[in-house]
Amino acid sequence: MENYKSRTVVNNAGDGGLVINCEAYTAFVIDENAHLLKDILKQTYEKAEEWVKTNYYRTKGVTEAFLPLLQLSQSARIVNISSFHGQLKFINNERAKALLENVNGLTEEKINEVLQWFLRDFNEQKLEANGWPKTVSAYKASKAAVNAYTKLIAKRFPQHHINSIHPGRFKTEMT
């Protein structure tokens, strides 16, 4: 197979994961103001599960599918579209945060464990009790997982340029 100078994969998986009353909804708010969204945002387990699949597992799947091709390049790039809301500061679950930020001990299994734990707590309505975000919970958890996965593959493939970015807010179907 030919060796190409540059190949780039841009992963822009995104799913809102919410049923939104668009007339009342104007912006994402911080967890301290979650009570303001009580009649505006409805988070369901089904949407949370869909959100995690789209934002994390599909991003990971596309990346894994393209890695053999990218390895043929002299200058491979992977850009995972993440979010400001994927920062670990939005997750108060100290164990989950420790697993996701420990680059040296990070594995795909640990990322999966965190997401399964999140979904279990979501299903059992234990998000707040266990330190998960109260608002747009699945979005924040799944984008934090994308960021962790990006760090993991950047460590596995140091010869590639691998990043996750927050593109800012712009008009899309999701927003």
Give residue 136's pLDDT: 86
Query: SS3 sequence, 82-103?
Result: CCHHHCHHHCCCHHHHHHHHCC
Domains in the chain, ordered, with CATH? 6-165 (3.40.50.720)
pLDDT tens digits for range 115-141: 999 999 999 999 999 999 988 899 999
pLDDT tens digits for range 58-87: 999 999 999 999 989 888 999 998 988 899
Give residue 83's pLDDT: 86
Give residue 115's pLDDT: 98
- The alpha carbon of residue 114 and the mean position of all alpha carbons in its chain are separated, in whole angstroms, by 12
29-43, 106-120, 156-170: the lowest-pLDDT one: 29-43
What letter represents residue 123's amino acid?
N
Inform me whether the pLDDT recorded for 8 exceeds 70: no
What letter represents residue 140's amino acid?
K
Give residue 42's pLDDT: 74
According to DSSP, the β-strands at 19-20 and 41-42 are antiparallel
Please confirm, yes or no, whether 56 is among the known catalytic residues. Answer: no
pLDDT tens digits for range 13-44: 555 555 555 444 434 445 565 555 566 667 89
Percentage of residues in the chain with pLDDT exceeding 90?
A: 59
User: What pTM value is reported for the model?
Assistant: 0.80
Residue of 4, 25, 57, 139 with catalytic role: 139
What are the tokens at 126?
């234990």
